[in-house]
Chain A
C-alpha cells in the first residue's frame, strides 16, 4: 500500500515525532483509573467529573446554545471538607484552589421538606501569599457557580456562565459573599431531566424534589486573566429533601410513542408498541402486541405454547434479570394467515428469572393485584414481545425459532418528580417531510446518514444585508427501516451549527458538552432544530478570535459581508458511547453584501 505523500514534509514530521517521548502517566491518573475500576464505574461517573467543555453561555430555556472557552482546565484534587450537619443543622463545605482562593458553601439546614426553600450561600476569600489576586471569570457572579446533583438519582443541574469574561480582583482576607444563583440549561426534550430542569428554573428560589441532593458551589477561573490556565474546585453540601405531601397521581405527560417490529426467518413479524415512552411508576402501561405472517405461503402453522406463541416480557435496563410469563409446554398449533394481524394480549403473572429488588413492586402492582396491564418501578426498562415457535409439531430434534422485539420505556418516580410537569411539545410523529422546492439550490441541502437519519438545512433566501438576521431552518427525521432508532448524543443536542467564511478564513467553530445521552428517534417524526451558536474564543485579540467573540455575543445570526457557509453538524454515536461520533454535515451558502 502506498501511503507516502510528500517525502520531504513526511521526513520532517517523522523526525519531530521521533523526538516525542513516551510520557509516563502521572500517579494521580493511575490512581483515578484504578479507582474508577474499583467502583465498577457507575454510568454517570465520567460525566460527573464535569467534562471540561462545560456550557458557559446563559442557557436557560435556550436549546443547544453552548459556549466553551478555549484553553485548558486543571481538575485538581483539593478535597473539600464537609463539616456535615445533621437533622436541621447548618452545614459548611470548603475547598481551596492552589492559588489560595478559599470557597465555602453554606446551607442553613441539611434536611428540608419538599417545597421548602433551601437557603444556600457561598463565600470566597483569598488566603494566598500576595496582597491580592486577579483572575478571569465568566460566571453570573464572576467566578462562583452553583449547581445541584441528585445523589439517589440521575437528575442534575450543571452551572452555566455568561459568554463574556471579566477580570476580578480579591484582596487577601476580604470575604465576598455569593447567594445561591441558578444557571444552566435544558434542551426542551421530553425527558425527566429536562422536565426537572424546566421546573428548577421556573423559580428563583432553590427548591428540590424529595431525595438526597448535593448542592454545591464551584469556583472556576482563569489564572491571572480570561483564557489563563483554568482552575476548578467544588464545595458540595448534602441536603436531604423529605417526601412532603403525597404526590399527585397525575401520570407523566405524553411522550413519543414507542414501537418496534421484528420479523423471523419464516416471515413472522412480531410488533410491540405503547402510546408513550415515559410513564409514572405505578401507572398502567398500555401495551399492544401483534403477530402477522408475511411469508411466501398463504398460511403458516406455528407450534408453541398453548397460551400463544408470542408473550410479553420485561427487564430493567442493564440487569440480567428478566421477567417472563409462565407458559404451558403443550406445543399447540397456531395457524397464521398471510397478511392478517393477530393481536396479542398482555398477560400478567410475571416471575423474575433471578433476584431483584423490583419483585415486591411488581407483585404488588401487577400479578397479585390481578391487573391486566403492566406497571413498573422507576427506572429504564426494556419491554418486549417474544415469539418462540417451531414450524413442525414438537418432537425430538425439532428446532425452535426465537425472536424478540423490544421497546425502551422510562419510568419516572412520581414522588421524586417535580410537582408540576407540563408536556413539552417537541417531537411528534408527523408524515414524512416533504422537501421544500428550492429556487436556488444553495439555499437548502439534505444529508442522509447510512443509519437513515435525514437532516435538512435551509434558508429562505441566499443574499442578505450585513445587518440582516439570517433565518436558518434545520430538521431531522429518521427514515430508516426500524420503528425507532436508538443513539447517543451530547447533552447539547443532536445538531451543532457553525459558520465558515468561504472568501476568507473566519470560522465560528462549534462546541458541545462532553456528556453522552441516550436518545431515540421515531421513524417519520420530524424534529425542528433551532439555530444555535456555540464555540469559544481565547481573547487573544486576533481577527479570527474577535469574530468568534462578536459571533457569540448576539443571539441572531448576523454575518459580515462575504460569502458564508452555514453548516449543520449531525453528531451522534452508538448506544454504548464507545464508538466514533458520527459527524454528518449539511450546509447552505449565503452571500452577505
Chain B
C-alpha cells in the first residue's frame, strides 16, 4: 500500500513539472486569459506637442500607447492598507493604441477592473508613450467568469479624449469575430474565446 502511495506521489510531481514546462501560451488550471482592445482617439495637436517636447523622429513614429489593464486584485495588492495608490508605474507593460491585449490572470468568480471606492482605473493612455503625458481611463465594470471558460473577450474599447486631456466618451464595441481571429493566431487555438458580459459596478 505504501508503495502505491509513493508511486502516486511521484506521478503527481511528474505531471506538475510537465505542466510547468509546457509552452508559454498554455493556461494553468487556475488561470484565464482576458482579451480586449483599447483604441484612443486624442484630439490634441500632435505636431505642436512633438515640437514642444523636442521628440525624436523615432519617438514620433512610435505613436501612442496604453498600459496593460489592471484588475482590482492587482490594484489592491499594490495598495497601501490605509489608502489608495494610483495603479501606475513606469515598469508596466505598454501596448500600442489600437492593438489587442491578452492578459493571463488568476481565475476568480468575479473580476473587476476598477475598485469601487476610488475610480481607479483600467488603464493609462500615454501620448507618444510618455509617462508624464498620461490620461487615466476609468472602467467601472466587472465580469463573471464561468467555470468552463478559459478565454474571455471584454470588448473593443474606443476612448475619445479632447485637447484638454479630458475624456469625452468611452464606447465599448463588439468586434468579437476579429478578436477571435487574433486570439487564435497569437495565443492558442486550443481555447475557445467567448464573450464576457460586462456588469456595471454599483456606485
Tell whether A and B belong to one assembly.
no
